[in-house]
Chains A and B, each alone.
Chain A
Amino acid sequence: MNFKGRDVISIKDFSREEILHVLDVAERMLPIAEGKEKSDLLHGYIMASLFFEPSTRTRLSFEAAMKRLGGNVIGFARPGTTSLKKGETMADTIRTAESYCDVIVMRHPQEGSARLAADFASVPIINGGDGAGHHPTQCLLDLFTIKREKGKIEGNSVALIGDLKYGRTVHSLAYALALFGIDMKFISPPELQMPKEVVEECREMGVEINIENSLDDIGDMDVLYVTRIQKERFPDPEEYSRVAGSYRIDRKLLEKAKKDVTIMHPLPRVDEISPELDSTPNAAYFRQTFNGVPVRMALLALVLGVVE
C-alpha cells in the first residue's frame, strides 16, 4: 500500500483496507506519541500548518505529531497575520506555502477548500476541516479510538447523538462506520436530524439505521458518540436549554447503558456530557483527543513516504 504523495481530503478517498492500514501504523506510533520513545523519522521534513480558521485540538495535535517525529513546523493559526488580509487568494497562499514545506495541513471555513488546495499544490494536502465539509483525520482518530477501546471496529453498535445536521464529524463518521458494516442509531432533536443523503448512503451500504429523538433506548449500544448542540442553531434560548438538556449524558443515563459502554465526543463539549462522568472508565473522550496524535503521526509518515 503506497500513500506517498497522497492528499487526505475526505474519508471517502480511503478504502476499508487503507483505513485499517493507517490505524495499524498509528498503533506502532503510540510509544512515540506518549513520549516514551524518541524518534527522528521525519527529521529534515517541514510541515506547513495553515489554519485559516481557529482550532485547538487539530492544530496542536498535528504540530505535536510532526515534532514528536523529529520534523519541523511552520505556519499560521490566524489568517489575519498573513497576506490573505491584503486580498491574496487561498490558491496563492497555498502555492507560496508549498515552496517552503513538504506537506501542508490546513483548515479553512469554506467547503471544498482542501480539494481546491490539492489541485494547486504539488506537496500532499491534509484536510484539517473545510467548513461543514470533511474532517477525515477526526474520522480516522474516532475509528482508532473505537478500535482501541473495544478491541475491534466491527461488531459494535454505535449511537451518534446531538447535532447530526451541522456536525461535520458525524457525517464522515457515519459513512466510515457503514464501511465497517456497523449498525447505527442517529439520535437528535427533530430539527437537527442527520441529512437524508447520509442516511440513504449508509442504508445503501447495507447497514441498519434507526432514527430516534430520545436517549430512552440506548441500552444495547456499545458506543455513544456525542456531539455539541450549538446555541446559535436555536433562535429562542429557552428552546435551546430545553433541547440541549434532553440530550445530556449523565450518571443517571449511564445506569441505563451497557456497563462497558464507551462514551466519545470530538470536543469541545459544553453541557452535553456531565463532568461527573469524566472519571468513569466509560469516558473515552480525553483518550480520543490523545489518539489524534498517533493517527496524525501515521498520516504524516505515510504521505511523506517515510513509512509504507
Chain B
Amino acid sequence: MKELRVQPIKDGTVIDHIPPGNALKVLHILGMERNLPESVISIAINVKGKRGKKDIVKIENRELDTQEVNKIALIAPNATINIIRNYEVVEKHRVKVPDELVGIVKCGNPNCISNGREPVESRFIVKSREPLRIKCYYCEREPEDISSQII
C-alpha cells in the first residue's frame, strides 16, 4: 500500500495526477466550495508518484459526470478520473478540455460585454487543445494566462 496517508474509498470518484498544489483549485472549478456536497472529500497535496509529486482528490459516494470534470483540464490537463464502486476502479479516463467553457474563466478585457451587467455567464470557445488556446465568445480576445482568470 503506497498511499497510506489517504485511505481508499469504497464508492465515489478519485481525481488523480493533478499538478502539485492545484487540488484546491480543482475543487473550486468543480464548484465544491459553492455547493458543498454531503459526501466526504479527501485531499492529498504533494503526494509522491511515479512521475514526481502530484495532488489527489477523493470524493466519496459521488460519481462525477465526465462533462463536469472536464472543466478541470484547464489547470490539470493530465488528470485522470477514476470511478470507484466497491473499492474497484470501474471506469478510468483522462480529462479532456471541453469545446466550450461557460462560467469558468473570466474575460480579461474590461470592456467586454460579458464583464458588464448583462444576464450572461462568461463563455469561451476552445481554439486548440495543444497548446491550450481559448477565445472569448463575445469579444474574441484570447487570455494570455488562463489559470489566472479562472473565476
Contacts and interface: CB of A to CB of B under 8 A. Distances in A.
22 contacts: A90-B113, A90-B116, A91-B119, A91-B120, A111-B111, A111-B112, A111-B138, A111-B140, A111-B141, A112-B114, A112-B137, A112-B138, A112-B140, A113-B113, A113-B138, A115-B137, A115-B138, A116-B114, A116-B138, A119-B120, A133-B140, A197-B142
Contacts of A110: 111-113, 116, 139
A89 interface: yes
A181 interface: no
Interface in A127-167: 130-133
Contacts of B111: 109-111, 131-132
A131 B113 CA distance: 10
B118 A90 contact: yes
A19 to B, nearest CB: 19
Interface of A: 10, 89-91, 108-113, 115-116, 119, 130-133, 197
Contacts of B119: 89, 91
Interface in B72-123: 109, 111-114, 116-120
B136 interface: yes
Contacts of A108: 113
A115 B113 CA distance: 9
What are the nearest 9 A-B pairs in CB distance? A112-B138, A111-B139, A112-B139, A112-B113, A110-B113, A113-B113, A116-B113, A91-B118, A89-B118
B139 A89 contact: no
Interface residues of B, number: 17
Contacts of B140: 10, 111-112, 133
Contacts of B141: 111
Nearest to B117: A89
B24 to A, nearest CB: 31
Contacts of B118: 89-91, 116
B117 A112 contact: no
A111 B120 contact: no
Contacts of B138: 111-113, 115-116
A306 to B, nearest CB: 30
| Of listed A90, A116, A131, A132, residue having the most chain B CB within 10 A | A116
A133 B139 contact: yes
A113 B142 CA distance: 17
Contacts of B112: 110-112
Contacts of B142: 197
Contacts of B116: 90, 110
Contacts of A130: 113
Given A111-B113, A111-B140, A112-B137, 5 more contacts: A90-B116, A111-B138, A116-B118, A131-B111, A132-B111
Nearest to A133: B139
Nearest to A87: B117
B2 to A, nearest CB: 47
A252 to B, nearest CB: 39
A188 B120 CA distance: 37
